[in-house]
A and B are shown apart, each in its own frame.
Chain A
Amino acid sequence: MTLPLKKTALAAMLSVAMSVPAFADPIRTINLVTRPQAAQPAEFQFTQLIAQEWRKLGLDVNVEVMPWEQMIQAIWFSRDEWDTTAWQMVGRPERSDPDEIVYNLFHSTTAEKGFNFIGYNNPDYDALVEKQRVALDPDERREIVRAAQTLLAEDQPNMMLAHPKSTYAVNTSVWNADSVVDQSGIGIRNTWSYIQMEPVGDVKDIVLNSSDNVTAINPLYISGGTDSWITELVWDRLMRIGPDGLPQPWAAESYEWVDDTTITVTLRDDMMWHDGKPVTPEDVKFSFEAAGSGEAPMYSPFVNGIADIAIDGMNITFNLSQPSAPFLTASLSKINIIPKHIWESVIEEQKTLETNAESFQEEVPIGSGPYRFSSWTLNEEVVLAANGDHWAAPEAERWILRIVPNVEAALGMLRSGEINFLSDFPGDPTVVVSAAEEDPNLTAVSTVDIGFRYVAFNHRRPPFDDAAFRKALSASVDRRLIVGAAFRGFAVPSNSVVSPALGFWHNESTVEGMTAGVDLAKEMLAEAGYEVVDGQLNYPEGVSETLGE
């Protein structure tokens, strides 16, 4: 009978009509920003490699090269306008505590103006990192930090790449090799080395180099990496990050947590300023108040948890507004102790001016640290002299920093003896290692850094708001390729913002068993609904491109 046949035919036609896919838009050209090769050869190289792999997935990738200052404008101050970018976090001793990294980089409150410039917003993650901040029991805190890392590895808000190995060198015919300190996550270039290095022969001056100018020698201004080497030697702090990465008492003789939000620190009684006056608890209280006075904007975040400071004899009591697990590292190991008799009038004056304490440069900076200021020849060198009165007086006589912008010249100087400590080498580390192999007087030391390199995804712009898409892109590149071809082997693969250099906090399970490859990535994309049509990767069905030209 004809009716059932017609029905079948109609049904067949309808089913054919239904199986025609709804619209699916190709993904627009994705921008990947990087710094120039001259400034950042590793970064330049890995962006080329990553772009190459992503193109195999059917994505159209455009690599955009721009210098750092333009990058800041294009990325940091224009948070809606970029897709992906290479980025880095620099390793500093104070970042030995994971709080600054796990909180500031990903907490939703820092998304608009702060370090969470990628716009990551995950309430579960927010809860975790808020919890670790007030978890005073180290083991409990450790579990929370590990859980946070696992969550990030699942979500892939960024494509973590590697923790570079920094390579520095020292001349062992001048310095006793055993007296040089290799600080976890930092390398031999650290304050402990500068204090403990013993001269072997007649040369008793540490002569080291930096490729960047010294901007300022000011304890209230975080003016640059090189400058911080100087401030760490000229001024003391209550605590210091030790070679093991953990904070230890320094200017503080001892400390005690009275309760969750109160800590009492006992100041050493044998400290003197370089101008002869004694260091008093009033100076310490003043230092913390100066940091929070508004005239030192870069230091204020490190003291804003302090409600008030009380003095009793040599004891200084800090009252915090809430419990803070990273307090010892983030605050007590960070704030420089400055002389009230010099800075009090400076701060008062700055309050009346448009400028702030960052603009005040002492002729002869006065601190209480193991080295005292001796001279500063503009753009050429800074000389510090050992402070014999200090309880941790250096073994060396002077600390001399030479500004050498020409990287090859720095290596030449190490070989000729013009410098005896290679403390800055932004070039190819294999050259330093070969130089050390050829010359028995030179020893090169490579250390896995606390810092890391990554490619950031902008969560404000689709498809980067889709975790599956991010994970596929991240999985398309084998990290061994990055380590080998961009870092010449001088790095370790990374899948966590907490570096293996921070052994206590690092969660190895994030890196172990990482699988990668273009085929794997293609599978992941297909599963998530992204199809390749005519060689171009498309959004899943029903999703249109909202940001194309």
Chain B
Amino acid sequence: MKGITVIGARLLQTAFVLLAVITILFFMFRLMPGSPLAAYIDPNFTPEQQAELMARFGLDRPLWQQYFIYIGNLLQGDLGESFFYRQPVAERVFALLPNTLILTFTSLIVAYLFGVLAGAYLAWKRGAMVEQIGVPLVLTTRAMPEFWLGMLLLAVFSFGLGWFPAGGTRPPGAEYDSLWALYTSADFWRHMTLPVLTLAIYSQGLPLLLMRSNMLDVMREDFVTMARIKGLSTFSVVIRHAARNALLPVMTSFAIAVGYQIQGNVVVETVFSWPGLGRELVRAVSTADYPLAQGAFLMIAVVVILMNLVADLLYAALDPRVTHE
């Protein structure tokens, strides 16, 4: 019974946050300078046609009315029409979302696998040279501008060594029977390597330091000393206990990292010409195509909010000590 109340409360909270973000988004975009007419710059655009255009996009009605119409449409899955593409926003956004999600999840999995193992290793080697250098080095990886790292990797591994292509998700003109065939093809992974590497290098710092911190805590505990006295292998004891302890924070931080990572995508997608949602958002904002920009932004925010919810639920589920406030 208690579990359900917790879940229920969290769901309500999430719904509230979602509504608040949608509202902020709506008013922010409606108050933006730059006119939708920019998309229609044409010498033959008569004042009647201009008025028709404003009416078509609902821009001639009071702001409050526009807001409720927007919410109403949203509930039906209608995100409006893009000024420039003259096509429904929802279609575009959902078509591009998988590309962004694949990049996000793959790079995070790589980052977390590496981070957890490396973090455990560094904790085990506490005091040694590798740890003294390793920790500052890891902090440095979180201090790099991602686009700079991306451009350098591109220059070295693509332009220089020619090991990887310079952009896109597949070779020019390549045809695949299905999305699944594409995602499992070697070419796709070749194209994905550099962007994933760029994102992973930046993201691995958090799980690494988290794991290291956990291990250090565990290693200090009494039962480890006891095990050593008894002659048991400290390694297996430590690993088993640390693993159990680390599970919660690592999984929680993974969920939240998705939310943070998806923003880094914006830059990496541009550097590697990856056709994702981040790149589309940037272009939509640059061209003042605000239905599209709003739609892309909303989609990203939904992912972030959803992952925050997942993190909350994981926390509630896995940590028996948490009581609902």
Contacts and interface: CB of A to CB of B under 8 A. Distances in A.
Given A205-B172, A404-B167, A412-B158, A378 B92 contact: yes
A378 B168 CA distance: 11
Contacts of B185: none
A403 B274 CA distance: 9
Contact of A418 (B92, B155, B166): B166
Given A359-B81, A406-B272, A412-B158, A380 B45 contact: no
Contacts of A359: 81, 86-87
A379 B172 contact: no
A380 B168 contact: yes
B323 to A, nearest CB: 48
A124 to B, nearest CB: 23
A113 B86 contact: no
B280 A400 contact: no
B173 A398 contact: yes
B165 A418 contact: yes
Contacts of B279: 379, 405
Contacts of B56: 354-355
Interface string A384-424: 00000000000000101011111011001101101100000
Contacts of B40: 297
Contacts of B52: 354
A298 B42 contact: yes
A221 B86 contact: yes
A113 B45 contact: yes
B271 interface: yes
Interface string A181-199: 0000000000000000000
Nearest to B53: A354
Contacts of A402: 167-168, 172, 273
A396 to B, nearest CB: 12
Given A104-B43, A413-B166, A416-B158, A215 B270 contact: no
Contacts of A73: 33-35, 38
B33 A381 contact: no
B263 interface: no
Contacts of B288: 69-70
Interface string B169-192: 111110100000000000000000
Given A110-B43, A301-B44, A375 B175 contact: yes
B84 interface: yes
**Most interface-central of B55, B159, B173 (chain A CB within 10 A):** B173
Interface in A268-312: 297-298, 300-301
A375 B182 CA distance: 15
A354 B49 CA distance: 11
Contact of B172 (A67, A298, A381, A406): A381
A70 B283 CA distance: 14
Contacts of A418: 165-166, 171-172
A115 B44 CA distance: 10
Contacts of A207: 172-173
A232 interface: no
Interface string A53-72: 00000000000000111101
A67 B289 CA distance: 13
A404 B273 contact: yes
A298 B92 CA distance: 24
A409 B33 contact: no
Interface of B: 33-35, 37-38, 40-46, 49, 52, 55-56, 81, 84-87, 92, 95-96, 151, 154-155, 158-159, 162, 165-173, 175, 270-273, 275, 279-280, 283, 286-288
Interface of A: 67-70, 72-73, 76-77, 104, 110, 113-115, 205, 207, 213, 215-216, 221, 223, 297-298, 300-301, 354-355, 358-359, 361, 375, 377-381, 383, 398, 400, 402-406, 408-409, 412-413, 415-416, 418-419
5 contacts: A68-B38, A207-B173, A213-B283, A380-B169, A416-B158
